[in-house]
């Protein structure tokens, strides 16, 4: 049984799931990892949690019901409930969209674990030791509910060092781990009627950023006859929507040559399928480039619409201040270069950067660029990436559609 120090329990009673070492009575913490009852300094039950001294978050709270200890059955039930909360997405799989999230970490009460559906394949990403220890239970629950063609599990390289995990890929069929005899073939996924090619188990994070689904749709409302800049374009989600929305031209940039190749392949794929007009091929240029250097070198007033969707610039709280400076410079440069009256869609996927702080950063960017900025839309992650109200860190994706007035 772990005791929380006096004055450190308030957020825990409010169901915040993270407990750091400074909040615990050191004399009550166990040596071995596992489930522990967590109580306040005066003995009141707070929650059941998983303690692991080797995790960068040593205690993760799981169940706030004293009669519901989180054993294997609890994990299986929690996985099933998380999947079933997305049942509306499964009804759309045969038509416009077959890629979406079914487990969203702590927001679904399952710490350090995300899982995405890609048609008949499920991709799991593990970023915490507790999820690694329970991975076979999770696989069993998903297998029993969805019967996927394959489950692919990766440890998250961004967290392996601080969680003392190795970078690992595991493959499961029928709930049994196996080693593929050869490289997995490319598959096609659909989102909002557009097709994307990918090789299962490859690519950044789970391979495709379905959290931007609704934001990509919103972009189409602003791109008719526009010249578009797609910064950090990855495999072309925003670019494809810009083309479908009737833009005049898209210049796409990413630091990954593989992503650029995949973007161009995705444009060809949708043209070949008759989803995008053949003229789309002539409208796109895609280049491997550093986004900061690119923004400094492009001419002024060349773009009507600019999209900034950089990777996570603040991996931790410690890197937040330097990340704020990077976000400010990125947006300042875009505001300086865009045409007067142009539309800037700007995003941050840094969970440690709060929405109000991101908005403040944008205000600094506008001041330094000497422009006026109007907020047209405030956007976030898709509904399959819910925000848990007791865990504000789960609101990691913040996005704004802005009008820049010079």
pLDDT by position in tens, the chain (length 406): 999 999 999 999 999 999 999 999 999 999 999 999 999 999 999 999 999 999 999 999 999 999 999 999 999 999 999 999 999 988 877 678 999 999 999 999 999 999 999 999 999 999 999 999 999 999 999 999 999 999 999 999 989 999 999 999 999 999 999 999 888 888 999 999 999 998 877 766 656 888 999 999 999 999 999 999 999 999 899 999 999 999 999 999 999 999 999 999 999 999 999 999 999 999 999 999 999 999 999 999 999 999 999 887 776 677 788 889 999 999 999 999 999 999 999 999 988 888 999 999 999 999 999 999 999 999 999 999 999 999 999 999 999 999 999 9
Length of the chain: 406
Largest Cα separation within the chain, whole Å, is 71
Confidence at residue 355, expressed as pLDDT on a 0 to 100 scale: 93
3-state secondary structure of 14: coil
d(CA 274, CA 137): 43
d(CA 262, CA 226): 23
Coarse DSSP helix, strand, coil percentages of the chain, rounded to the nearest 5 percent: 35, 25, 40
d(CA 129, CA 58): 10
d(CA 62, CA 220): 40
Helix (H) or strand (E) holding 307: strand 305-308
Residues 66, 47: contact at Cβ < 8 Å?
no
Name all domains of the chain by residue range, CATH numbers in brackets: 2-63 (2.30.130.10), 73-178 (3.30.750.80), 209-405 (3.40.50.150)
């Amino acid at each position: 049984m772990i005791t929380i120090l006096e004055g450190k329990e308030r957020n825990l009673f409010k169901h915040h799931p993270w407990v750091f070492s400074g909040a615990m009575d050191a004399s009550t913490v166990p040596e071995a990892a596992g489930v522990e009852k967590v109580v306040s300094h005066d003995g009141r039950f707070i929650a059941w949690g998983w303690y692991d001294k080797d995790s960068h978050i040593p205690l993760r709270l799981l169940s706030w019901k004293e009669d519901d200890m989180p054993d294997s059955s609890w994990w299986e039930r929690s996985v099933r409930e998380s999947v079933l909360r997305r049942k509306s997405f499964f009804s759309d799989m045969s038509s416009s969209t077959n890629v979406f999230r079914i487990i969203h970490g702590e927001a679904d009460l399952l710490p350090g674990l995300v899982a995405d559906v890609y048609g008949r394949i499920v991709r799991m990403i593990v970023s915490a030791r507790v999820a690694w220890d329970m991975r076979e239970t999770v696989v069993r629950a998903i297998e029993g509910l969805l019967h996927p063609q394959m489950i692919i599990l990766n440890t998250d390289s961004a967290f392996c060092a601080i969680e003392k995990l190795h970078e690992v890929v595991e493959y499961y069929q029928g709930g049994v781990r196996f080693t593929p005899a050869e490289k997995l073939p490319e598959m096609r996924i659909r989102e909002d009627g557009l097709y994307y090619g990918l090789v299962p188990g490859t690519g950044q994070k789970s391979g495709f950023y379905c959290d931007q689904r609704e934001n990509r749709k919103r972009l189409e409302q602003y791109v008719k006859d526009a010249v578009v800049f797609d910064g950090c374009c990855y495999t072309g989600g925003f670019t494809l929507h810009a083309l479908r929305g009737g833009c005049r031209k898209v210049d796409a940039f990413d630091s990954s040559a593989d992503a650029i190749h995949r973007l161009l392949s995705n444009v060809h794929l949708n043209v070949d399928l008759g989803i995008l007009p053949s003229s789309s091929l002539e409208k796109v240029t895609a280049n491997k480039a550093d986004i900061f250097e690119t923004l400094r070198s492009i001419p002024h007033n060349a773009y009507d619409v600019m999209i900034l969707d950089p990777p996570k610039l603040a991996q931790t709280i410690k890197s937040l201040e330097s990340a704020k400076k990077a976000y400010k410079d990125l947006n300042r440069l875009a505001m300086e270069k865009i045409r007067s009256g142009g539309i800037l869609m700007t995003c941050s996927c840094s969970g440690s950067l709060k929405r109000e702080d991101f908005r403040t950063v944008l205000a600094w960017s506008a001041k330094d660029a000497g422009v006026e900025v109007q907020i047209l839309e405030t956007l976030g992650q898709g509904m399959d990436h819910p925000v848990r109200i007791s865990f504000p860190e789960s609101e990691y994706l913040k996005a704004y559609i802005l009008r820049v007035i010079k």
